[in-house]
Amino acid sequence: MIQSLLPNILEFIHNIDPFDKLPPELQMKIAGSVSISYLSRGEKIDFYPGDPKRYLYIIRTGVMEQRKPNGVLRAKLSSQDLFGFTFLDDHADGEESYSAIAAESTLLYLIPHEALQKLLEEHPEYAEHFASQAQIRIQNALNVV
């Protein structure tokens, strides 16, 4: 990553759940691991269980649609939304493949699975914020309120 972009990435993720729950030094580590990807409208990312290249995606700008293999809309996401949680966990059961398609030009921040996994192994107290199951993340958010 280009070091001059680091302050912008850090400022952006600092305000996004679950990164806002992390101390500044861990936010800095995550920001330093980010790569940036641009998708034109219609470009897609395919997700498959067991895929060796896994990332947590943060939408910086744009709109993404998650679609099941049969084309049914799974979710519509925009700026500051995250996706890819379900494929971060090697032990997530029953998750089917899906695609994330850019509904418009989209800029994404990608956090490598390995970097996030290492950080959470070193700091397990933050693991529930990044749980692969949405229900755990929702319950955790409700416990804060």
What integer best gives the mean pLDDT of the chain? 83
The H or E element that residue 137 is part of is: helix 134-144
> Could you tell me which of 99, 93, 90 has the C-alpha nearest to residue 51?
90
Per residue in 3-34, pLDDT (tens digit) is 788 999 999 999 998 899 899 999 999 999 99
Residue 33 to residue 115: CA distance in whole angstroms: 7
Please give the single-letter amino acid code of residue 127.
A
Average pLDDT over residues 91-104: 76
User: Considering the entire predicted model, what is its pTM?
Assistant: 0.83
Are 76 and 63 a contacting pair, CB within 8 Å?
yes
Largest distance between two CA atoms of the chain: 42
Q: Write down the residue that tokens 């379900």 correspond to.
A: 86
What domains does the chain contain, in order, with CATH numbers? 3-144 (2.60.120.10)
Mean pLDDT, residues 111-139 taken together: 76
59 vs 66: CA distance, rounded Å: 13
Q: Is 128 helix (H, G, I), strand (E, B) or coil?
A: helix
Residue 74's SS3 state is strand
The two tokens of residue 46 are: 């395919």
Beta carbons of 120 and 80 less than 8 angstroms apart:
no
